[in-house]
A and B are shown apart, each in its own frame.
Chain A
Amino acid sequence: MSTIIQDCLEETCAINPHSIEDYQSEVPRWCKGCGDHGVLASLQRVMRKNNVDPENVVTVSGIGCSSRLPHYLRTYGFHGIHGRALPIATGVRLARPEMKTIVTMGDGDCFSIGGNHWLHAIRYNINALVLVLDNEIYALTKMQVSPTSPAGTRSNTTPRGTYLQPMNPIGIVVGMTNVSFVAQTATWLPAHLDETIERAWSHNGLSFVRILQRCPVFMPKAYGEGGLNFPLVFLDNEDGIPINPALLKRGPAEAHNQRDINEALKVAARVDPAPMGLIYHNPDLPAYEDIRHSRAKRPDHETFLDRLDKVMDRYAV
């Protein structure tokens, strides 16, 4: 069923008590044409579609243009510090596994300053929707090179062009031990973005979604001028991310088994054309917080005191 028809049905039948406004707070302050607007809208649609109560959602971010998102999404938001969204989210997961958890970061935020946390969060496999809004540049600080900036990018710190090849974050994530969900999408493909976030939303584990994001202000030329002219291929699989026929105008589809790590590694190594869709999925890996909670049960008060007293016995003289 298409999203639009379903929305209409739900509205008329009043199945869904939530409206988009329930997930809106401040008016976003991103630039006109910024891809971040699309990610916010897509999240709001997915949340509405899943009929989530906004008080049961936590949205954590770092610092950057992209990390402003929690200000505009009406949930319990935590706009943290640069690079450190994932540790905060890990704490939330350990403390309150019943809360739906979203993490938004920029490419500098996640791949550079937060690199250590990025790798380890994937290994922990916390149950969180992790969105990296990758505009291939440091935008908030006004155009410095990022780990994903294309070779030769002229930025304020590389005025004569970058010195290095860009990092391929998808290759790194798929190669990481305990990875459970990896997808790639783009802000100029709203339907695909919606479907990707929707698919990631229902994954129990860390769903890593790299969103190629337009930044018309500092990277107007990135991604073939914001997607106009960007070679990509849609990964096609029954259980993957649906490919709306209209999308095929943007690039061909290609069969891919996202359950097969070897296939996923091959796809992940490719950057041109960029693979779009669900690259790897293993629904059977336990989330870190579930493992931890299965081993630690808080006893009732009397048992608690009893156990503490027994511990004291060990040190008694």
Chain B
Amino acid sequence: MSGPRLVRLSEHIVEIVSDAGEGAQKAAVSFAQVCAKAGNGLWTVEIIPSEIQPPPHTTGSASGNRIRLAENPVTNVGNLANVVFAFNEMALLSRFEAGTVASDALILIDDQWAEHDIEAYRQSYRRVLNDVRNKGCRVMEIPLEKETLRHVDNPQRGKNMFALGLLCALYNKDLEIAKGVIANVFKKKSQEVIDTAIKLCVAGYQWGLDNFETSYEVPAVPTDAAKVAMNGNTALALGAIAAGFDLCSMYPITPATSASHVLSDMFEDFGGFVHQAEDEIAAIGVALGASWAGKTALTITSGPGMALKTEFQGLAVMTETPLVIVDVQRGGPSTGLPTKIEQGDLLHALYGAPGDAPKVVMAASTIEECYYILSVARRIAEQFRMLVIVLSDANLATGQQLFDRPDVSHTPRRAPLDLSPVPAGTLPYDWDPVTGLSHRLIPGQPGGMGVITSLNHDRNGKACYDSERNQRAHKMRSRKLAALQKSLQPPEIHGDPDGDLLMVGWGSTRGAIEEAVDMARKQGVKVSSINIQFLSPLPPGLKEIFSRFKKVMTVELNYSDDWGDPLITEESRRYGQLAWVLRATTLMDIDCYAKVPGRPYMPIEIRDEILRNVETPSEKVPAESHAKA
């Protein structure tokens, strides 16, 4: 027997979905590990049902993963899925409803529904399969439960391992790696469980070899470099430990919570605390109190929680108490889309607190960056006595990326609290007149007693109300941002340093933007991109970079009015949030591609936007002619 014909590909996207609880998640995670161990570049995203216990066999119940595997490192979720492996037709339908499946995709589906006892299932199975065939998909009906039954009594438990074997056959993966992965995945279970899982996996593999006409080869370069795979929230949690944080104070909120789950699981072993406060206001208050008392604290939340934290943000700024807030953004406003991505909190992070409250705002652009960003945030918070807001989002939070295993030996040794006496009269805000920087006093230092206050105050910390000292205090707090800005580098340009179009992004859209730029450049378009990590203070050199391109536009996952929409004119158009900031700071006519799909952009969507924007005459385009559907 010759086996399937092998087709070489540089990358592929496969989605594996079942009813919640049927194990597609486990099959997918295991398959992703097989790919990772084989040396493929990888990005996986969880497909999460919207409810805790959704009714089975409905689109709302679909649960699983999307896996993008590639020859090279992967920086985003990618485009349309090439393969969907569904355990029932409703799970399959849910993926088409999400609009993320290619019209010529290969569909693998359990055939048990074709002759199921329940007439409604038989009908809907036939209807959905007809529909997807009509779209142009190739459908392969798999006797998933039937074959699984030959090896175990309860096919519900075990068909996912059969599916894993099948995927290994489809992608021509080494069965030995899969066996190792299974042993690891079930390492807390009995040997019998492991043996059965392996038996099923082998059976699935064999079935695949016997029945697939083609199989895919996404070549992988096995490396010796140690790698880890984790999602962005886990990376934040581990990054917080590595950064030396003592306390994370939080109130549960999707999609930030899982970071505190990871921390809660292990923080005590590192001498740290997760404090689940009574609300988000208390959460930031506890973090602020701990930080003022000399420890290193952060609070982690999402949009609605950010809103509640604003008054305390002002207090942190006013008292110059170091503090880090992580905002894992979700769709807003209000409860919005709790589990979905949006980059809607940028302006809130920058300007949400009342009064002038200068603070640092940074955004993580990859999962790997989620790990390192808290060390940077902590250093800035402490050195500048500032509030640092770190923006992540639901895409980073639940996606998994493969990256180089962090070298923990770089973790700095922690110095004990310096409680040495200070001369009486030492000022709590001994502002350097140029930089605004000052040394902070830690409670317990003899000689440093005094009050810090939310009221305007002078260098001695005492409340004062006159205009001169109010102006000075504002100046000093603001000056620290300018001092920090001096130490930042201009952003690196992806592509040529000049051209027709520059796409400007921030946060997790980076990978998709860069990939889109690469695609468009291959088509001959003179397009480049940058990712802005520091949103406050903005890095130097932006205006100069922008001036080298005929057109500059931001790519953001937040709302803007579209050109051509009813009533929308140059005067009434509301721009994407980064565009708003950049227009204000550069006085340049910066356009935006800013939408709220509730999912990451696919690189092809951005590529199409690039093409739309270079099709127009290359002169600077007057606003009216921006009109496009």
Contacts and interface: CB of A to CB of B under 8 A. Distances in A.
B282 A116 contact: yes
B454 interface: yes
Interface string A299-317: 1010011011101100111
Contacts of A292: 273, 275
Contacts of A190: none
Interface string A76-109: 1111110010111111101110110000000000
B269 A95 contact: no
B235 to A, nearest CB: 9
Interface in A266-317: 292, 295-299, 301, 304-305, 307-309, 311-312, 315-317
Contacts, number: 198
A312 B408 contact: yes
A207 to B, nearest CB: 18
Interface stretch (B90-98, B239-247, B510-518): B239-247
B424 to A, nearest CB: 11
Given A71-B463, A79-B453, A96-B293, A312 B228 contact: yes
Contact of A77 (B249, B446, B450): B450
B289 A87 contact: yes
Interface string A99-125: 100000000000000001101100000
A296 B287 contact: no
Interface string A213-252: 0000000000000000000000000000000000000000
A30 B276 CA distance: 37
Contacts of B293: 58, 91-92, 95-96, 99
A120 B276 CA distance: 11
Interface stretch (A9-17, A48-56, A178-186, A193-201): A48-56
A84 B285 contact: yes
Interface in B274-308: 275, 277-279, 281-295, 297
A117 B286 CA distance: 11
Nearest to B266: A311
B368 to A, nearest CB: 12
A95 B294 contact: yes
A297 B246 CA distance: 11
B36 interface: yes
A56 B463 CA distance: 23
Interface centre among B230, B282, B413 (most CB of A within 10 A): B282
Nearest to A75: B449
A212 interface: no
Interface in B238-267: 238, 241-242, 246-247, 249, 266-267
A292 B227 CA distance: 34
Given A95-B289, A116-B282, A81 B269 contact: no
Interface of A: 25-26, 53-56, 58-60, 63, 70-71, 74-81, 84, 86-92, 94-96, 98-99, 116-117, 119-120, 292, 295-299, 301, 304-305, 307-309, 311-312, 315-317
27 contacts: A55-B449, A58-B443, A74-B449, A74-B450, A76-B443, A77-B451, A78-B289, A79-B453, A81-B312, A84-B281, A87-B281, A87-B283, A90-B282, A91-B285, A91-B288, A91-B293, A94-B247, A94-B273, A296-B272, A298-B272, A301-B414, A305-B409, A312-B228, A315-B228, A315-B229, A316-B226, A317-B228
10 tightest Cβ-Cβ pairs between the two chains A and B:
A91-B289, A298-B271, A87-B285, A77-B451, A76-B443, A88-B289, A91-B290, A95-B290, A95-B295, A79-B453
Interface of B: 33, 36-37, 226-230, 234, 238, 241-242, 246-247, 249, 266-273, 275, 277-279, 281-295, 297, 311-312, 314-315, 319, 402, 405-406, 408-409, 411, 413-414, 441, 443-455, 462-463
